[in-house]
Amino acid sequence: MSTLLEGKTVVITGAARGLGRECAVRFAHEGADLALLDIAGDLDGVGYPLGSRSQLEHTAELCEQQGSAVTAAAVDVRDTAQVETAVKEALARFDTVDVLVNNAGIAAPSGVVLHEISEPDWSLMLDVDLSGAWRMIKAVAPAMTEQKSGSIINISSTAGLVGYRNFSGYVTAKHGLIGLTKAAALDYAPHRIRVNALCPGSVRDNPLVEGRMLVEIARSLDVPTGEYEGLFLRDQPMNALIESSDIAGAALWLAGDDSRQVTGSVITVDGGFTSR
């Protein structure tokens, strides 16, 4: 086991599967203790299954196998009381929260032109993908401020940097997350709390972490299941989809002390997609 995060406690939202699981297991391998949060159930208005309780428990087991102390809780980031309770429980168990990874997010409801989006669908997207991160930062910031250290990592997207047709809600939320990152970085810099954003490109749905974000984006675009990887691959300058491990590696760097002077930054892991 490596020790880049030894002695640190990491809170990860959306930890049941996908990027959340990849980050959790990678951080556990580097010596971190973990508070794993996920809605652990489906959500009205999202037309695909979200992370489940059993998937969250499996993520916890994988981390415990690395020697980490782990807590896991079902938390809806739209609910302030649930968020605050989860952070209080993490502090009670581990004394500190050193790293927050705001990974919880939804890709749907999407796939329609802007004027066809209903107000509930618009509000749902912003409440999960943008306001959920704000609630989590609001909950952990007092403890980080008191200890005069911390790293907050917001998982945005290339949709936070460019537009995508028929995804205006998602694009708006992810652009907003970058704005939140920059504003929070300035607010908390005097307290040695760093806030950065990661912008993944098209991440392959790795079955080992049960990722399914790319296939759901394809479904929203009515792209056949057997064709979606090839469709996204055509736009990749490096001729390869991004792996979930690529994102976890970048998050690990932002979580650790080697990036201690990095804050307010937006780091793309997109194979050159936004360089075109």
Query: What are 124's two structure tokens?
Result: 């749902």
* Cα distances (angstroms) measured from residue 248 to each of 212, 221, 234: 16, 27, 24
188 is catalytic: no
Residue 196, amino acid: N
54-76 per-position pLDDT tens digit: 999 999 999 999 999 999 999 99
- The per-residue pLDDT for 1 is 60
Q: Give this prediction's pTM.
A: 0.95
Q: Which of 164, 170, 188, 228 is catalytic?
A: 170
**Contact 140/77 with Cβ under 8 angstroms?**
no
In the chain, count H helices and then E strands: 9, 7
pLDDT at residue number 219: 77
203-222: b (≥16 Cβ within 10 Å) or e: bbbbeebbbbbbbbbbbbee
Instruction: Report the distance separating Cα 23 and Cα 11, nearest Å.
Output: 10
The ranges of the chain with pLDDT < 70 are 1, 225
Distance CA 209, CA 15 (A): 10
